[in-house]
């Protein structure tokens, strides 16, 4: 058993929406770790699917995949990126041809890769924190 007073507190990284994550997870950092890990895994799957839809010229299919990816950013406190995905989703809804969404697609692909790095780093930090008393 450990002394509660000596328990180290965990602070989410500043590039994440700390207040939102505190409200969402409270002190249940095991849950946060699990959600971060599963969100990153799901994001990788969906981003591969988005890539395929884009290269096939399937804009309605791309829009559906982007719609599925969007809330994953919310679960991990990247609300600004979630809004950028929402804007790209609207861009897809108004697009007539694949070329009209190419620049937007490249942008969301880039920010998604950066976001995955942040999520992976935060997941590692959560794992370290959560195992400190095992």
Q: What residue segments make up the domains of the chain, in order of their start?
A: 21-130
CB 37 within 8 A of CB 123: yes
- In tens, the pLDDT along 40-88 reads 999 999 999 999 999 999 999 999 999 999 999 999 999 999 999 999 9
CA–CA dist 16, 125 (Å, integer): 13
Please state which CATH class domain 21-130 belongs to.
mainly alpha
How high does pLDDT run on average in the chain?
92
Confidence of residue 1 (pLDDT cuts 50, 70, 90): very low
């Amino acid at each position: 058993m450990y002394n509660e007073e000596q328990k180290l507190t965990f602070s989410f990284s500043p590039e994440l929406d700390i207040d939102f994550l505190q409200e969402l997870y409270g002190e249940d950092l095991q849950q946060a770790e699990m959600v971060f890990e599963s969100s990153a895994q799901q994001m990788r799957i969906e981003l591969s699917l988005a890539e395929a839809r884009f290269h096939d010229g399937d804009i309605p299919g791309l829009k559906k995949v982007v719609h599925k990816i969007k809330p994953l950013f919310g679960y991990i406190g990247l609300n600004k990126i979630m809004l950028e995905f929402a804007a790209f989703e609207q861009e897809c809804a108004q697009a007539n041809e694949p070329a009209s969404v190419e620049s937007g697609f490249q942008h969301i692909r880039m920010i998604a890769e950066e976001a995955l790095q942040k999520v992976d780093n935060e997941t590692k930090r959560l794992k370290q924190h959560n195992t400190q008393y095992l």
